[in-house]
Structures are given as C-alpha cells and as structure tokens.
Structure 1
Amino acid sequence: MTNNPNEILIRTASVEDKATLLNLEQAVVGAERPFNAQIKPAAHYYNLNDLLNSTDSHVVVAEHNGTVIATGYVQIRQSKPSLVHEKHGYLGFMYVSPEFRGQALNQRIIQNLMAWAESKGIFDFYLDVYNDNQAAINAYQKLGFAPSLLEMKVNTAK
C-alpha cells in the first residue's frame, strides 16, 4: 500500500496524544532492542509529561487519516562548557510506522523540529543513533548530520 505523503499532517503533539505516544515509545524500544540486548522489557525512554509541557521542548506527530504514524522531539539543552555554543537542540523519539517509511517523513519531522529550535536561537543539533542502525544513520546523513562521538561499552557479567 502506498501512502500519499501529501495527506500526512505534521502537528504539535498534545497531552491528549500521550497514550498514543506511550505506544510509539514501545515501538522505538522494540526497534532498538536488536542493537542493544541490555534494554529492559517495556523500558521507558522519555518523560512525556515534561516533554509535552516544557517551553524548552517541542514534540510533533505525523498524522494520516486521524492516526498518529510518526513522532519526534527536540529539547533545548545546556551544552558542555567546552563548546562554543551555550545551548543545543537534542533530537529524539524519532519513529515512523513501518508502512510509512521511505517517504521522507522523518526528514519532514526533523525539519519541523529544527525550525522550531532555530526560532528560539538554537542552531546546533545532536542526536543518538546505534552504530549498527545503518538505515537511521543514512537518513540522518541526508539531513547533514555527521558522526561526532562514538560511545563504547562493555558488559563484564558472564
């Protein structure tokens, strides 16, 4: 089934979307579990109350025929003192329902989020992506993102 990207609405998420966002959060967790076996069952990544109510964050959803099919957020955060920018935008909760992938929907969401942050004077953006998630890395690189820092880990429990 091909879905027309022109019929997809990007809008600011509201508290009324919270139940749907909680379900999408679990979809994110499920999508990331193959890249990190240490993720707990039914893990929670986001404090949705804070994200939805803070003046320093902007959560958007994509809707098709009244159904939320994608999401993302940007949060204005304090930068490390060693950096030239005092604050930056952190992008997260990037998820597109599988049947809507490949339509540049994630790109539209990120552009919306970055425009919101830029309107607040934020021009530096960061996000995290698993090293083996090549599809996501490719999508972010199309938007101008480049690898910056590699987190390394080890689990010594046998």
Structure 2
Amino acid sequence: MQIRVATPEDIPRLEQLEQAVIEAERPFNAAIKADNAHYYDLPALLNDEHSYLIVGTIDGSIIATGYAQIRQSKAQLDHAQHGYLGFMYVHPQHRGKGLNQQIMTKLMDWCNQQSVCDFYLDVYSDNVAAIRAYEKAGFTPCLLEMKLHQPVPQK
C-alpha cells in the first residue's frame, strides 16, 4: 500500500468511503440519520493546517483513509494539545493486513513532528473489532460517552 496526502481530486472517493464508515457504524448508533448523513467536512480537512488527511492506495485505488487533527486539550490535562485521529477506514477486502496500523503510524508521526505526542480517537463501545485494532496500536479505553433519548411528552 502506498500512503499519500489526500487531494481535492480524491473527494468523490472519500465521500464514498465516508458513507461506508457510516453504514458500518449504523448498527452501533440508531440515531444516525437515515439519509444525507455526513461525518466529515472534507474540504475543510484538506485545507486546515492543523489537519493531515491521508489515503492508502493499491494500484492507484484508494482503499484506506485516516486523518490527524491537532486539537487543544482540556485544561486539566498535562498536555496542551493532542492529536485526534478520525476517518480510520480500510476497505473490507484489505482488512487484517496491518494497513490501519500503517495509516495510524503515519498520522502519529506527523503529529510527533509538531511536538504532539498524546492521541485520542472515538470508537463505539460495541465495535469490538475496532477496539481490538486500536488496543493493538497501544490505545487504552479512557472515557465512555453515554447517551439518552427522551422524547418530549405530547401536550
């Protein structure tokens, strides 16, 4: 797999892969919109100096994605900034080959070059395969977000 920085010309394919991520995550969150759901502002990620959006290609076809974004950390933490990893996706046909690890390594190296060495990402608590992959890369569970949908009573 070749890894390179994403370009504006990649946006149509990235939008397809974004929808693949959304479909894969629907079983974990019934509140995801049925139509027109989007996670990422791809043009903004491409143009933001604090973001690094990369793609993995095989024979010129994009089969993996990921981005790192340098964000301000919460005031109570011992680091001022952290790298947030998102849009971590590998086409199902290419999973289990360590490609996600390669993408994460490249993203974390980019952050390290900017003196950022703490990393966070979001993963659904029931997504056992993804959690296992992130733990293999050294991540540990840190915070569990909880949600509640409570309909407003009809008057």
- Scaled to the shorter chain, the TM-score interval is over 0.9
Of 5, 10, 17, the match for 2:3: 10
| Distance in structure 1 (CA, Å) of the matches to 2:15 and 2:114 | 27
Work out whether 1:116 is the aligned partner of 2:110. yes
What's 2:59 paired with?
A: 65
Using the TM superposition, give the Cα deviation of residue 93 of structure 1 relative to its aligned residue in structure 2, in angstroms.
0.2
| Distance in structure 2 (CA, Å) of the matches to 1:53 and 1:19 | 16
Amino acid of the structure 1 residue aligned with 2:21: V
The 5 Å alignment of 1:18-97 reads 18-41=11-34, 42-97=36-91
- Structure 2: stretches of 5+ with no match in the other structure: none
1:113-157 alpha-carbon deviations (Å, 9 max, x no partner):
000010011000000000000000000000100000000111123
| Distance in structure 2 (CA, Å) of the matches to 1:40 and 1:17 | 24
TM-score normalized by the length of structure 2: 0.95
| Distance in structure 1 (CA, Å) of the matches to 2:29 and 2:50 | 29
What's 1:137 paired with?
A: 131
Number of residues of Structure 1 aligned to a counterpart in Structure 2: 151
Using the TM superposition, give the Cα deviation of residue 15 of structure 1 relative to its aligned residue in structure 2, in angstroms.
1.1
Aligned-residue RMSD, C-alpha:
1.0
- Structure 1: stretches of 5+ with no match in the other structure: 1-7
Using the TM superposition, give the Cα deviation of residue 10 of structure 1 relative to its aligned residue in structure 2, in angstroms.
1.1
| Distance in structure 1 (CA, Å) of the matches to 2:97 and 2:53 | 20
Amino acid of the structure 2 residue aligned with 1:117: C
Percent identity between the aligned chains? 57
Using the TM superposition, give the Cα deviation of residue 16 of structure 1 relative to its aligned residue in structure 2, in angstroms.
1.1
| Distance in structure 2 (CA, Å) of the matches to 1:144 and 1:49 | 30
Amino acid of the structure 2 residue aligned with 1:46: Y
| Distance in structure 2 (CA, Å) of the matches to 1:50 and 1:120 | 20
SS of aligned partner of 1:113: helix
